[in-house]
């Protein structure tokens, strides 16, 4: 019987070195005081202001809401020294365009990853929810950006997070099964994933998704980790599972158009021949593949793969 994957996953976006300090969100005076001495990052709706050292922290005196620069500030928390962090959400460029980087592109340390993921998640949610879903009136950020409040009926709306399962499928020979979506470039393969439906458990979602997309039955489902995926608002819950009927594996022809069985030697061959592109290093999928690749303890080349998508 194939052994379970008991290795801890290294999930970059799951890291956080900042206390969110939710008790401060109702204290406007304290937030104003913290803002004056804060470390502030700028998100322009798609990218962060960054350089070779990571995020660029801005001077609070130049970022007063409404004058001279229009934007919104969201409180992200305090570090171990009591320093406050905010994200300034504004579509305006505060530096040359080439100074802005996607979250996937920026070279961030553990603290910066945590605040960038939090900040981007909030900014994208605010952008997508300008109206009250109860009465249709305008809504505005409240509680330091952690909620939106309707300007008419005062209903409070909270950020939405969409749970999605992602699963590394293996057979009894410890091969992994990867799939390619129709919208992906040629040779790009990844693990199987899908959103959890209402009233569905994570495990049930795993079984349903792999049956729908790859026509196989999963068992021995094992939770291996989770991390936010703010593109725009998912929480990826990662599992490994064993396939009981690998001979039945086939793509559904709609979402998944190609599948590929890989052992540890063939994955290296695919990378060398450029017939295989792996998920990006920030992803849960890449972490699961690398954990499986190293699970038998053998010395092998690293899984280097060029970026194939944003």
Task: From 133, 56, 55, 44, select the one nearest 93 (Cα to Cα).
Answer: 44
Sheet holding 139-142, edge to edge: 139-142, 147-150, 156-157
Q: What is the pLDDT of residue 193?
A: 97
Contact 39, 69 (CB under 8 A): no
**Distance separating the N- and C-terminal Cα atoms of the chain:** 38
State both tokens at 203.
Answer: 């495990």
Domains parsed from the chain with CATH numbers: 14-128 (no CATH), 161-294 (3.90.79.10)
Residue reference for tokens 């599992």 = 239
Q: What is the pLDDT of residue 64?
A: 56
Residues in Cβ contact with 15 at an 8 Å cutoff, skipping those fewer than 6 apart: 110, 113, 114
Contact 227, 14 (CB under 8 A): yes
Alpha-carbon torsion 156, 157, 158, 163, what sign?
positive
Residue-level length of the chain: 310
Angle at 11 between CA 255 and CA 80, to 5 degrees: 140
Q: What is the pLDDT of residue 309?
A: 43
Q: Average pLDDT per run of 10 along the chain, which is 310 residues long?
A: 69 89 97 95 96 92 60 96 96 92 91 96 96 97 98 97 97 96 94 97 98 97 94 94 96 96 96 93 93 90 66
- Rounded Cα distance, 177 and 192, in Å: 9
Q: Could you count the other beta carbons within 10 Å of the beta carbon of residue 29?
A: 7
- Rounded Cα distance, 182 and 280, in Å: 18
Crossing angle, helix 264-272 and helix 284-294, to 10 degrees? 120
């Amino acid at each position: 019987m194939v052994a379970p994957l008991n290795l801890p996953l290294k999930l970059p976006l799951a890291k956080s070195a900042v206390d969110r300090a939710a008790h401060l969100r109702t204290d406007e005076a304290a937030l104003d005081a913290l803002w004056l001495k804060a470390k502030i990052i700028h998100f322009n709706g798609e990218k962060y202001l960054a350089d070779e050292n990571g995020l660029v922290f801005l001077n609070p005196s130049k970022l007063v809401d409404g004058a001279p620069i229009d934007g919104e500030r969201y409180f992200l928390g305090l570090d171990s020294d009591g320093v406050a962090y905010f994200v300034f959400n504004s579509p305006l460029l505060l530096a040359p365009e080439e100074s802005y980087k996607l979250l996937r592109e920026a070279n961030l340390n553990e603290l910066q990853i945590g605040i960038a993921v939090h900040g981007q998640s909030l900014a994208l949610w605010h952008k997508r929810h300008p109206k009250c879903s109860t009465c249709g009136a305008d809504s505005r950020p409240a509680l330091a950006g952690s909620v939106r409040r309707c300007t008419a009926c005062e209903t409070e709306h909270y950020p939405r997070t969409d749970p999605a399962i992602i699963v590394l499928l293996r057979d009894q020979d410890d091969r992994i099964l990867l799939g390619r979506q129709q919208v992906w470039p040629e040779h790009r393969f990844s693990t199987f994933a899908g959103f959890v439906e209402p009233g569905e458990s994570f495990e049930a979602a795993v079984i349903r998704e792999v049956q729908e997309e790859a026509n196989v039955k999963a068992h021995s489902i094992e939770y291996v980790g989770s991390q936010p995926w703010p593109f725009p608002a998912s929480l990826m819950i990662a599992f490994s599972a064993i396939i009981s009927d690998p001979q039945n594996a086939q793509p559904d022809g709609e979402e998944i158009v190609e599948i590929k069985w890989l052992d540890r030697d063939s994955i290296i061959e695919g990378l060398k021949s450029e017939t295989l592109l792996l998920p990006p290093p920030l992803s849960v999928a890449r972490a699961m593949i690398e954990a499986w690749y190293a699970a038998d303890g053998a010395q092998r080349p690293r899984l280097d793969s060029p970026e194939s998508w944003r």
